[in-house]
Structure 1
């Protein structure tokens, strides 16, 4: 990992960008203290839904959420938070 000051980063940004493209991480400092890292960009991968389905199938789970009440998303009564817990 390379460390450079803000002034050096500004003066040599193109060269630093080439190094980062090759996989290096560059730490930029101000008054000797790290303030940011320049890191290679990674493409977002998202969720692998098929892997989730395979996981559930392997464990014999056909329906992951078997029941959702019809009033699931209805507003709660106004005094809901004021009632004592039982």
Structure 2
């Protein structure tokens, strides 16, 4: 992984774009602090496939004590609302 200052990115963009196309990640810094990364775009031509890692999400929730993120859904949750639902006064 390369680290490049934001000023160098302006001068070497074509070179850095080529490196990213080859699968390398480039970290762009300002005053020595990371600002953003140039990363290869996912897809058939990339070396690493992107996407959502559901197993990692479930492991994270379990580590926080949440065993079932949606513990209960009513059987009638998608039934149509009564016609006067929006016209009823609030309790």
Instruction: Return the TM-score normalized by structure 2.
Output: 0.52
Tell me the residue number matched to 2:23: 23
Cα distance in 1 between the residues matched to 2:79 and 2:89:
16
What are the superposed Cα offsets for residues 17-59 of structure 1, whole Å, 9 maximum, x if unpaired? 00000000000000000000000011387xxxxxxxxxxxxxx
Unaligned runs of 5+ in 1: 46-67
Deviation at 1:78, TM superposition (A): 4.8
Check 1:72–1:21 CA distance in 2 against 1; reply closer, same or farther (3 A cut): same
- Counterpart residue number, 2:36: 36
Higher helix share: 1
- Measured at CA, do residues 21 and 34 of structure 1 come closer, stay the same or move farther in structure 2, by a change above 3 Å? same
Aligned in 2, Cα 1:72/1:36: closer, same or farther, shift over 3 Å?
A: same
Q: Could you list the runs of 4 or more consecutive aligned residues of structure 1 that deviate by over 3 angstroms after TM superposition?
A: 75-79
Aligned length: 60
> Structure 2 vs 1, CA of residues 41 and 78 (structure 1 numbering), >3 Å: closer, same or farther?
farther
- The two structures have a TM-score, normalised by structure 1, of 0.55
SS in 2 for 1:28: strand
**C-alpha root-mean-square deviation of aligned residues, in Å?**
3.0
Cα offset, 1:72, TM superposition = 2.1
Structure 2 residue runs without a partner (length 5+): 44-49, 52-74
